[in-house]
Amino acid sequence: MYKVLIVDDEPMIREGLRTIVDWGAEGFEIVDTASNGKEGLEKFGQIAPDLTIVDIRMPGMTGLDLIEKVRQDNSLAHFLILSGYAEFDYAKRAIVSGVSGYLLKPVDEEELLDELRRVREQLQREQEARSVRSEHDAALPKAQLVEELLFEEVSADDDHRGKLVEALALSAPAYRIVLLDAYGGSEMESRQHAVFRQRLKETFEEPGGGILFSAGSHIGLLLVRQSHVECGDSLRSHLSDAAGELEFHAACGSVVDNLIDIGASFREAEYLLHSRFFFESGSVIDRSAYDTVFTVSEASEALAENEDGPQLGDKLYYALDIRSREAVEKVLRELEQAALSRRMDEAAVRSEYSRTLSLAIGKLSSGESSAAELAQSYHSLLLSDINQAQNYDVLKKQMHSRLGELIDQFGGANKDTVLKQMIDFIRRNYSENLKLEVLAEMFGYNSGYLGKLFKNYTGEYFNAFVDKIRVEKAKELLTQGLKVHQVAARVGYSNADYFHSKFRKYVGTSPSAYRSEAHDERRGGGS
């Protein structure tokens, strides 16, 4: 049984979690509970739970504070975040802290079961990895020699490395390292791993002179025969036959002609395997396959590196707010280009998507409308999709599907024309850094052409229209007695002097004078 610690300041939640699911049937046992973060931290040190379910908001030490303190000494601990609030800043911190999942109160039984089963699979894989490492002492002598050649700190001792190569007694025209990451979803995974390793030995080691070895949580293969050094369909077929029901990714390092240089092949295989999230299960990744996936145009790279333009989270918010599927698709393509141009690994991809979605949904959720409530309800679904996607293609499809579904729930476009949509958008988002170029991109128009359409429709240039909307709102706020600098910030002007000049231009007096006149009128009206 895997040990579970529950940390929540609400007694009803702590007791309710005990009965909501059959923990034993899922392979878990609740061994203790804690009523606050400090107590939870103490009990974590005492019982070393396999999984900690922790409330994100507690007085004193929050759940995220607890996680960050645990992470200082234990980077492998598993957490499920539990919250009664769809708070996006907290959610982003949780993603950075590497939590296993995020659940909203009241906890849904099926969602909890899904998270528990996913965590159980992670724990089983880690247990198998530890088991593989524990087999080191019982490994074949040649496997030990390869591991020492690759992992021992002997780089400065060429004589020792030479002796290791001599002891391996291999003679081949070429050598290559292949690294494998194998995983499965059943409780028989440990046995499946053992069968997989045995089949690999039968295929590559016993008849071919290859050597099977352990490389942390990965399985390593030193290929020494010319027929097995090629990283192509034949190798993929052999690995698939050996894997059986297990899913796997493999990465091929470069070919070297001297065994003493095999470390270079290993390092390249390790580097390539980090990109496995972008490949389907059963893929064999070599440099050519890697370059094909991560080849992006110079324009895409420039777009991904442009820090002066609107952030993707803001763009996605605009696209969702105007109910435009086309605009959402465009932002998702930009997000993909950013991931590829920066050659992100799995963790970075999940974090970037979580950050972007949280920013967009957070802005959509800031109001009091039914659309805001609907957007808020989708946040945990989107984060769950991102965390659970098996590979990048699945993640992309889930994002396209889920965001399209959200737009459908909004009711599609809520104005008859693009120009009416623009005006409605400006009136609701006047305090944002609105730019015609960004809105034109969202609506799929050339900015110059859209600017002319806007001028003909409203009689005002875009920037002048935005200024007038802001000034009208500023007049309302000044009448309420707010200070000039407060009003400037609320209506979208970061520079109070610039706000002052715009206000005088359209009203004919200064903001402070207008506020004083409004104050005098209220006093006069009340006398």
Cα–Cα distance for residue pair 357/374, rounded to 1 Å = 14
* CATH number of the domain where residue 461 is located: 1.10.10.60
Residue 432 resides in a domain: no
Distance, CA of 405 to CA of 402 (rounded, Å):
5
Look at residue 132 and tell me if it is in a domain.
Answer: no
Which of 91, 120, 149 terminates a domain? The answer is: 120
How many residues appear in the chain? 527
Last residue of a domain, one of 410, 435, 466: 410
- Residue 436: strand, helix, or coil: helix
Question: Are residues 107 and 49 part of one domain?
Answer: yes
Pure H helices in 21-140? 37-47, 63-71, 88-96, 109-134
Say whether both 181 and 263 belong to one domain: yes
Strand partners, 249: 181
Structure tokens at 372: 């805001």
| Claim to verify: residue 335 and residue 479 sit in the same structural domain | no
Write out the chain's pLDDT in tens, 527 residues.
999 999 999 999 999 999 999 999 999 999 999 999 999 999 999 999 999 999 988 888 988 889 989 988 887 789 998 877 655 556 556 665 567 787 888 888 998 999 999 999 989 888 876 665 445 433 447 888 888 888 865 444 566 777 788 888 888 888 999 999 988 655 445 678 888 888 988 888 866 678 999 888 889 999 887 555 678 888 899 899 998 888 899 999 999 988 888 999 999 999 999 999 999 999 999 999 999 888 754 445 554 455 444 578 888 887 887 777 888 898 999 999 888 888 888 888 999 999 999 988 888 887 666 777 888 888 888 998 999 898 999 999 999 999 988 888 876 543 345 777 788 888 888 888 888 888 887 777 778 878 888 887 888 999 999 999 999 999 999 998 889 999 999 999 989 899 999 999 999 999 999 988 887 777 665 54
Instruction: State whether 273 and 391 are in the same domain.
Output: no
Q: Residue 298 has what pLDDT?
A: 46
Contact, 415 vs 422, CB < 8 A? Answer: no
What does the alpha-carbon distance between residue 3 and residue 358 come to, in Å, rounded to a whole number? 31
pLDDT for position 155: 46
Q: What is the pLDDT of residue 93?
A: 61
In the structure encoding, which two tokens stand for residue 433, read together?
A: 């850094």
Say whether both 154 and 242 belong to one domain.
yes
The answer on 470 and 484 residing in a single domain is yes
The residue type of 505 is K
The answer to whether the beta carbons of residues 278 and 392 sit under 8 Å apart is: yes
Q: Which domain holds residue 194?
A: 139-292
Quick one: 286 and 308 in the same domain? no
What is the token pair recorded at 503?
A: 């206000």
CATH of the domain at 53: 3.40.50.2300
**428 domain-assigned:** no
Are 46 and 152 part of one and the same domain?
no
Task: Specify the pLDDT at position 64.
Answer: 86
* pLDDT given at position 265: 94
Which residue, among 214, 50, 198, has the nearest Cα to 130 in the 3D structure? 214
Do you find a cis peptide bond into 106, omega within 30 degrees of 0? yes
What is the CA angle 308-378-84, rounded to 5? Answer: 105
Tell whether 260 and 168 lie within a shared domain: yes
Same domain, 155 and 272: yes
pLDDT of 366: 77
Looking at 292, 310, 345, the residue that finishes a domain is 292
Q: Which residues have a Cβ under 8 Å from the Cβ of 331 and sit 6 or more positions away?
A: 312, 315, 316, 319
DSSP code string of 13-45:
HHHHHHHHS-TGGGTEEEEEEESSHHHHHHHHH
> Strands 247-252, 101-104: parallel, antiparallel or unpaired by DSSP?
unpaired
In this prediction, residue 493 carries a pLDDT of 92
Residues 77 and 70: beta-carbon distance below 8 Å = yes
159 with 56, same domain? no
303 contacts: CB under 8 Å, gap ≥ 6: 334, 337, 338
H helix or E strand, kind and range, residue 221: strand 218-223
pTM of this structure: 0.55
User: How many structural domains comprise the chain?
Assistant: 4
433 lies in some domain: no
281 and 309, same domain (yes or no): no
Within a domain: 502: yes
